[in-house]
Amino acid sequence: MTKENINSECTLNQAMEMGLTEEEFELICQKIGKIPNLTEAGICSAMFSEHCSYKSSKKWLKTLPTSGDHVIQGPGENAGIIDIGDDQAIVFKIESHNHPSFIDPYQGAATGVGGILRDVFTMGARPIALMNVLRFGEIGNPLTNHLLSGVVKGIGGYGNCIGIPTIGGETNFNQSYNSNILVNAMAIGLVNKNKIFYSAASGIGNPVIYVGAKTGRDGIHGATMASAEFSDDTESQKPTVQVGDPFTGKLLLEACLELMKTDLILSIQDMGAAGLTSSSVEMASKGNVGIEIDLDEIPLREKNMSSYEIMLSESQERMLMILKKGAEDDAKKIFKKWDLDFAVIGKIINEKKIILKKENKTVCNLPLDFLVNDSPELSREYVIKTSSKILDNKNIIRKESINSIIYKIIENENFASKKWIYEQYDSSVMGDTISIGNKSDASIVKIHNSEKGEFKGKAVAISTDCNSKYILNDPIEGGKITVAEAARNLIVSGAKPLAVTNNLNFGNPEKKEVMGQIVGSIKGIKEACEELHTPVVSGNVSLYNETNGKSILPTPVIGMVGVIDDIEKIIFMNAKNNETLFIVGQDENKFDGFLQSSLYQEIFCDDFLGQVPPINLKKEKYLHDFIMKLNDNKIINSAHDISDGGLLPCMIEMLLLNKLGININLPPRIKTPNKENLLFLHGWLFGEDQSRIIISTNKPDKLMEFSKSENIKIYCIGKTNNTGVVEIPKYDSICINKCLDLYNNTIPNLFS
């Protein structure tokens, strides 16, 4: 396939090896009026792949809300952009690098970080933070250890070297990811509103410029590989994994931002998935123009590369840009100063085609509309399934002491601190990180308010979330909860949620149930985003996350961004001594709790199938508004979302740092121990009922006044003390020091 022969027609078998279906190959032949050559077929296969075309999902993605008061740029560009005032904007996006990270964990993760950073700075933004969402297989599987070690080193290896802080995210484990891990990377950047750059090409005759690193044979057909199921054979796919160089990435970042200070650039695009193919096709298509490229001008790292290889290579640290006529020399000086390749490789043409030349011969001539606007959009059959298993709490609770249960929850790999992982990343570089890890529910970085670096007290908060158990059991309700919890994490950190980026990770969409998970979760995400006023401005879809027909848990990740207009309003998670704890969103009459689909059920029943805790989105939004009012009136000292594990584990997280204790004020209904009340107690302590937040305050009377005036339910849990013991009167007591040891040391003990 690499031998150059432009007269060689692509066979159906070759096309199918590239990832095209028989129907797609026939459509290509029909549309272009001939049988394509290998290069043309390769370009079509890349642009028709799930990774580039979203052919299985775009019908449903179009239903998501994408506009709002703060939205400058929604989906369709390299990243989304929101207005944060002061003539500034936040640029952000999350994207997957799942398949590459399983094949080669270090390079797969590293290039995932590099790619998402380029998506951000190609818009003109200086990256200020990185996040990641990771999913690995079961603990004890040697492959899990290998993959986690490689991925973590890859994330740190790129992010640390390029000098962008990695400030948070989440890591979870489940056997469904044994042979198909998830590595989702998110980047956030800051840009002045008058310095935003877009990708649409313009100006007939304007030069097409290639900058960055040289092109090699790494990553060829990576987009197609990322759109297919795995088999047992992964070694053979290593050539499809890109190789990253963070030092070159840093040079490219600085060179691009320097050139962006001039008025020489008309448009710019990262060479990401499908490399030069997708960047050139998409730039021209967006600008309603054509593009002609001379492949002999491409800077190559290897000899005798064919047109096919050049166009499908996914070598890293490369950009494509359109300059004003006559700007070439000035731009070249900047890139040569940063020791990067700079080449004029083509021009913008009037005819809406991509034309490629090599050795003075035309090796590709394809219509752009066909590749982009007319690419396949599938309407796959689907069925949205909810769990048929309906459990009563009495079928879930275990006859163990409360302290035995809480210790097992805290040392569970999906609850315990991931400090051992995130401490391998540089979170403090640039000096603007305010909160990571267990300090607050969201990660927070300062925003400098001018090019001079002035700081006026503003910060950006970022949260990532996904509860795959909920999605599996009820895709629609699970989609709602995922968005709501991401927003709740921002609210309890003192931020106003503004917008969403998503990364939809699923199995094979050709299966009705999997497609139902996709459709259902998008429906739930849509409803929640509309109600919470958090439009979707960017994202990514990663399908065919299966190996030998076994799918991952459905994992539609939500990344949400909010703004804190005054860092004095930041709320941290850790309570202090002699503060009163309240549940906001629940009163004493709610004493049972929803244990189905919970972490409690997963740990003690080896099963999480069941109903999903229902969520009332209007109640959720009202809760958010109430918390913001409390914060504005300086009533909240600390706050934490009640989510995985329920009330007791989340409350203990608030007590750990300062090794505090508390004498819990139980609801009247369950103060007296008996068989029935023990059932209620487990539900109350460990149920994952939605729309609840724990806060601490030194102004309990003021809080109660506010709750009455706003007609919102609250419940007083008790007052913190310095005993280091959580007392559950007449039932049990819990040692905070033991909790702290389990919380901090479980993950290091498992992987060190």
Residues with catalytic annotation? 51, 97
Residue pair 1/308 in contact (Cβ under 8 Å)? The answer is yes
| Residue-level length of the chain | 752
**Distance between CA atoms of residues 502 and 172, nearest Å:** 17
Q: What torsion, rounded to 10 degrees, do the Cα atoms 117, 122, 123, 128 define?
A: 30
Torsion region of 609: left, alpha or beta (phi above 0 gives left; psi -120 to 50 gives alpha): beta
Residue pair 693/707 in contact (Cβ under 8 Å)? The answer is no
Q: Find where tokens 């054979």 sit.
A: 233
Neighbours of 13 (CB within 10 A): 9
**Distance between CA atoms of residues 388 and 391, nearest Å:** 10
Residue 181, SS3?
Answer: coil
Residue pair 229/544 in contact (Cβ under 8 Å)? The answer is yes
Residue 130, SS3?
Answer: strand
Whose CA is closest to 677, among 390, 397, 391?
Answer: 397
Q: Find where tokens 């600008």 sit.
A: 287
**Distance between CA atoms of residues 196 and 80, nearest Å:** 11
Which pair of tokens denotes residue 560? Answer: 């949400």
**CA of 664: how far to CAs of 331, 648, 720, in Å?**
66, 10, 9
Residue pair 534/594 in contact (Cβ under 8 Å)? The answer is no
Which pair of tokens denotes residue 282? Answer: 């998409």
**Distance between CA atoms of residues 319 and 100, nearest Å:** 21
Which pair of tokens denotes residue 605? Answer: 């029943």
DSSP state of 11: P
Distance of CA 487 to the CA centre of its chain: 14
Residue pair 104/226 in contact (Cβ under 8 Å)? The answer is no
Residues 6+ apart with CB under 8 A from 264: 323, 324, 327, 330, 331
Which pair of tokens denotes residue 27? Answer: 């459509």
Which pair of tokens denotes residue 65? Answer: 């809300």
**CA of 82: how far to CAs of 86, 434, 498, in Å?**
12, 21, 8
Three-state SS sequence of 475-522: HHHHHHHHHHHHHHHHHCCCCEEEEEEEEEECCCCCCHHHHHHHHHHH
Neighbours of 300 (CB within 10 A): 18
Question: Counting beta carbons within 10 angstroms of the beta carbon of residue 568, is it exposed (0 to 12), middle (13 to 18) or buried (19 or more)?
Answer: exposed
Which amino acid, 389?
K
**Distance between CA atoms of residues 81 and 89, nearest Å:** 6
**Distance between CA atoms of residues 122 and 751, nearest Å:** 37
Question: Counting beta carbons within 10 angstroms of the beta carbon of residue 325, is it exposed (0 to 12), middle (13 to 18) or buried (19 or more)?
Answer: exposed
Question: What are the helix (H) ranges across 287-372?
Answer: 307-312, 328-337, 368-371
Question: What are the helix (H) ranges across 507-656?
Answer: 512-532, 599-605, 617-632, 647-656
Whose CA is closest to 186, among 442, 399, 428, 396?
Answer: 442
List own/partner pairs for 339-342 with CB under 8 A and 24 or more apart: 339/251, 340/211, 340/212, 340/213, 340/248, 340/251, 340/252, 340/255, 341/210, 341/211, 341/212, 341/213, 341/214, 341/299, 342/209, 342/210, 342/211
Which amino acid, 330?
D
